[in-house]
Amino acid sequence: MRAWTRAHGFTSGATRLAEAVRELQLPEEGTSQISPRLRCYCRGMSGARVLILHGSPGSGKTTLARAISQQLGAADIPHGVIDADELNLAFPSPMRDLWLANLAAIWPNYVQVPDIHMVIATVVADAERLEQLRAAVPAETFVVCELTAPIDVLKARVTAREPTDRMRAGLRAWVDHHSARTDLEGIRDVLVSTHDRPEAEAAREVLQVVGWMAPERSDAGAE
């Protein structure tokens, strides 16, 4: 498998990239916007493809992102994985939507890899957040895949993984909140179940439905 850690063209463009990143605009209300200069710079670097893994707490976003990474790596496909929660780990937070500002700031580093396939695990809160996310990661293609499972399964998963009763109760409430949303069809492009199946199988389905991997050939009817 190829090593994709050395970014193509980084040295020659480092100064211009740094100047562009400094122009990242952070309005007072806390939403993140990309300056026109940075947007143009990103779009000119490579044909990046973005896959947003969206879904309720417990739907398997982080787990499936790792499984997808393994399959992309095995297929020698250039890729990267970002867990939005990891970009928000700061206390006290210096701003609202810290993760979105961090995502926009690091995005130019990833898209220096030609034809990179980026997997981003996050919850898309609403249509406005979806547009903010699109603006933060300018790309050739942008697909939202919602991961799903029965509500009792989602609650069982978050209950099993969280260390305190308070955190368990909080995430179970978020499961209820997500299931009650009426805008999910407008947010997602595709829907994939993670219930009662191996992680690798669900990851393969995601890659196939978004067109990043060809469907496996069936041996049925072969002589």
Tell me how many domains the chain contains.
1
Say if residue 92 is preceded by a cis peptide, omega within 30 of 0: yes
Q: Tell whether 222 is covered by a domain.
A: no
Q: pLDDT tens digits for 129-150?
A: 999 999 999 999 999 999 999 9
What domain range is 52 assigned to? Answer: 11-209
Give the closest residue to 53 by CA, choosing from 181, 154, 148.
Answer: 148
Q: Tell whether 218 is covered by a domain.
A: no
Q: pLDDT tens digits for 27-71?
A: 444 444 555 545 555 554 558 999 999 999 999 999 999 999 999
Take residue 143 and report the two structure tokens written for it. 């697909």
Q: What is the CATH number of the domain that holds 127?
A: 3.40.50.300
Q: Tell whether 219 is covered by a domain.
A: no
Question: Residue type for 97, please?
Answer: D
Computed over every residue of the chain, the mean pLDDT equals 84
Q: Tell whether 3 is covered by a domain.
A: no
pLDDT of residue 2: 34
How many Cα atoms are found within 13 Å in the side-chain-facing hemisphere of 184? 16
Take residue 84 and report the two structure tokens written for it. 């939005």
Instruction: Judge whether residue 3 has pLDDT over 70.
Output: no
Q: Tell whether 217 is covered by a domain.
A: no
Question: Residue type for 93, please?
Answer: S
Q: Tell whether 144 is covered by a domain.
A: yes
In this prediction the pTM is 0.79
Q: Tell whether 1 is covered by a domain.
A: no
Instruction: Judge whether residue 122 has pLDDT over 90.
Output: yes
Q: Tell whether 221 is covered by a domain.
A: no
Tokens 């609650």 found at: 155
Q: pLDDT tens digits for 183-210?
A: 999 999 999 999 999 999 999 999 999 9
